Structure 1
Amino acid sequence: MSSTVLSPDSPAWLAAVRFHGHACPGLAIGCRMALAAVLAFDLDASFLTRTDAAFRRTLSPDEELVCVAETDACCVDAVQLLLGCTLGKGNLLLRPRGKTAMSFYHRPARLAVRILWQADIHAPDGREMSRGEKMAHFLSGPEDALLAVRAIPFAPPSRALVSRSLACANCGEMTAEHAVRLRDGQPFCLDCRPDPSRIL
């Protein structure tokens, strides 16, 4: 098997399906985008045959690898599983643009790429591919027909912040300091903040 494609029985794909809950074309897209990022940064691509958690932590145990996703679709789950980029760890950020695109930053190498999905979903005879055909094509099709990978300036998001929590003056729930709004010197969570249009 080529190092730039996945097969329907590859451990990486099967692990992604288990994590996501079902097989779908969007998940296949995410697997290929994750693989493209690994290859662009010349990282260890052995996750194709090894999918245990200990290995994923070696790809990004903290925030060495950062993903900024321009979509919140199925493909993001593959990136979480295969690359170890997660919301909770702070190295997966969502920049909603409605595009199947992700920017990846490799902090140790100070390299960055943006990967844009650009696959045609039509078969050679002009009809739209079936769901199964799309998955197979997305997993094993030639990279240059599926993805546009280009280097971008290395300007990663700041590292995850750990901020103190404040009690909301209205509901009393503890809220991260960066997410409160002050009124008359009192902190309000975003759900309880007074209507800003009424504050002169």
Structure 2
Amino acid sequence: MSRVIHVFRQPERFVAGTVGEPGDRTFYLQAVEDARTVSVLLEKQQVSVLADRIAALLAEVVRRFGPELGEDEGEGTDTDPLAVPLEEEFRVGTMGLGWDADSRSIVVELLAVSEEEIDESVVLDDGEEGPDALRVFLSPPQARAFAERAEKVVQAGRPPCPLCAEPLDAEGHVCVRLNGYHQRRPVTE
């Protein structure tokens, strides 16, 4: 079967979002352009890493090419929910990130999980061989808005335990710092 590469050169939206309750959330990235919507499934950690890397790449682009690239064009953080119906194209395995000087865009490429080892030459390549991909071109303000929303989505989960930083469950938490025990207060009469 031939490789499918979904390319969004001028997306109206590129957002991270979730379905489910904290502690049982499924993470998605969704690109929308005209009447076309593509959603891909990924892990919480992947969303966090992508947001961090985009922020770092933006800082480097501004450093190298001037602060006018980092100026806002009125792009605010998108707070709308994911578009429905939510149908995943694939689960993300490998992620790639780059700067396209011609279009002055940050390019995000998300590759489907594959049984074979992914060579870095497959990332941002249009060859027939390789896993399915989602490639999105983002202006610097769009990339900044994506990173801000992605970070908020990741942080909106369960609060961390103040002792061990593991997520707290509504049903309780066995803290490794307390070796699973709670301090008992002496009963006073």
Query: Shorter chain as normaliser: what TM range?
Result: under 0.3
What is the TM-score normalised by the length of structure 2? 0.26
Using CA pairs below 8 Å that are at least 6 residues apart, which structure has the higher relative contact order? 2
The structure carrying a bigger helix percent of its residues is 1
